Amino acid sequence: MSWLFVVGIVVFFFGLLASIALHELGHLSFAKLFGVRVPQYMVGFGPTMWSRHTGETEYGVKWIPLGGYIRMIGMLPPRRGDAEGTLRGSSTGPFQSLIESARGASLEEVGPGDEDRVFYRKKWWQKVIIMFAGPLMNLVLAFVFISIVVMGIGVSAYQPVISAVSKCAIPAAQAGRDCTASDPVTPAVQAGLRPGDRIESYDGHKVKSYTSLQELIRASGGRTVPVVVRRSGQDLALSVQVTTNEMQSLTDPDKTEKVGFLGITPTSARERQGPGTVVSAMTDLTTRTVGSLINMPKKMVGVWNAAFSDKKRDPNGPIGVVGASRIGGEIAASDEPGLDKFAFFLMMLGTVNFAIGMFNLVPLLPLDGGHILGALWEGLKRGIARLAHRPDPGHVDVAKALPLTYAMAAVIITMGALLIYADLVNPVRLNG
């Protein structure tokens, strides 16, 4: 294990901790803005490692660095019939909240003069903002990190410039093996294509990107195609007899298809992109993240199988803090240039922050989305009551969802423990 590997793990791990701290800072900032008293802001769970009181809030770090929380007084309203002032304390942390949310807990935290400083008495839209501010912080961080990479550093993109020419045609199912005497020579070798050649046109079409070239090659199997390449500053016209080969599908990596085959490897180079590419990347990330959340039960079955058998871990499946930090170590210890490592770090932090933000928006307690849903339901009920000239229905009692909350918390804890175990015994690796 190299020292760079350890440094990468530590740096990425603390990057995640900083993201968690900023998530809770989002909650804290708007809670204080709207006058909610916040006795505690903590990064981590368990026993306190370090803390300091500033004003009415204790800021600190705990020993188990797997999350964070702030504790706001009066997150749950009193039951109907309870005397005014019978208030309960709770927190935004998905695990800590279960301990503190039961009625009858933390009465001593609500003192004289705190009646208007409890969470449950705030306007419904203020509650939404307070609870949404945490996930929003993660989403903003994701946007910033991805924007830095896409517009500042640039993203790796294949160019229609040949970096290598394959000697023989090998089916996708046998990829990685050496050529044998029975393997056919590739069309690129037969046509005399060389590394460094830039393909200017293919089959009469001007080539603007490698993506367009790849589509043209795949559609030209079994034909003789005119190709113009630029070599040493001069254009050279060639004729290529394109064959067909079993290749990996461009739309579904798990499938193969018989398509036109040339036998070239493109050159990769970094290119700075515009804001449109950032928007496109964020849109794609949103689609993939939502899909992952919907398929989470199925994905976790795969994690279980990989953890307790010799099955390969799905590189596109869920990954925990330990696994993500380990990948950070692999990035740091790789032979890639320093700028590529930095860009990979930022993209990973951006992706993880986006996943954290979206997961917390799932509308189930004890996640932030559950509190947001409760506040929206309260606003809807009160709005309908006003329009119908009915009495104010009062605050929505999210405490009624405690049975579901406990069940959901048990699922989250189990998933977290399983991911940590799988990340230790069968981790996701960059190189498979």
HEC assignment per residue over the chain? CCHHHHHHHHHHHHHHHHHHHHHHHHHHHHHHHCCCCCCEEEEEEEEEEEEEEECCEEEEEEEEEEEEEEEEEEEECCCCCCCCCCCEEEECCCCHHHHHCCCCCCHHHCCCCCCCCCHHHCCHHHHHHHHHHHHHHHHHHHHHHHHHHHHHHCEEEEEEEEEEECCECCCHHHCCCCCCCCCCECHHHHHCCCCCCEEEEECCEECCCHHHHHHHHHCCCCCEEEEEEEECCEEEEEEEECEEEEEECCCCCCCEEEEEECCEEEEEEEECCCHHHHHHHHHHHHHHHHHHHHCHHHHHHHHHHHHCCCCCCCCCCCCCHHHHHHHHHHHHHCCCCHHHHHHHHHHHHHHHHHHHHHHHCCCCCCCHHHHHHHHHHHHHHHHHHHHCCCCCCCCCCHHHHHHHHHHHHHHHHHHHHHHHHHHHHCCCCCCC
pLDDT band for position 299 (cuts 50, 70, 90): confident
- How do residues 231-278 score in pLDDT, each as one tens digit? 998 999 999 999 988 888 877 777 888 888 998 889 888 888 889 989
The structure's pTM equals 0.76
- Output the CA–CA distances (angstroms, integers) from residue 64 to 54, 61, 86, 167, in the order listed: 23, 9, 32, 54
User: In the predicted model, is pLDDT for residue 90 greater than 70?
Assistant: no
**Catalytic choice (24, 109, 330, 378):** 24
Residues whose CB is less than 8 angstroms from the CB of residue 252 and which lie 6 or more positions away in sequence, other chains included: none
Of 77-81, 237-241, 294-298, 424-428, the least confident: 77-81
Judge whether 24 counts as a catalytic residue: yes
Spatial distance between the Cα atoms of 225 and 317, rounded to a whole number of angstroms: 41
- How do residues 166-224 score in pLDDT, each as one tens digit? 988 888 778 778 888 888 899 999 999 999 999 999 999 999 888 889 999 999 989 99
115 alpha carbon, distance to own chain's centre: 39
Residues 307-320 have a mean pLDDT of 81
Amino acid at 70: I
What are the chain's domains?
1-154+275-432 (no CATH), 156-271 (2.30.42.10)
- What tokens were used for 175? 């990829």
- What tokens were used for 310? 């010799």
User: In the predicted model, is pLDDT for residue 408 greater than 50?
Assistant: yes
Residue with tokens 């927190």: 91
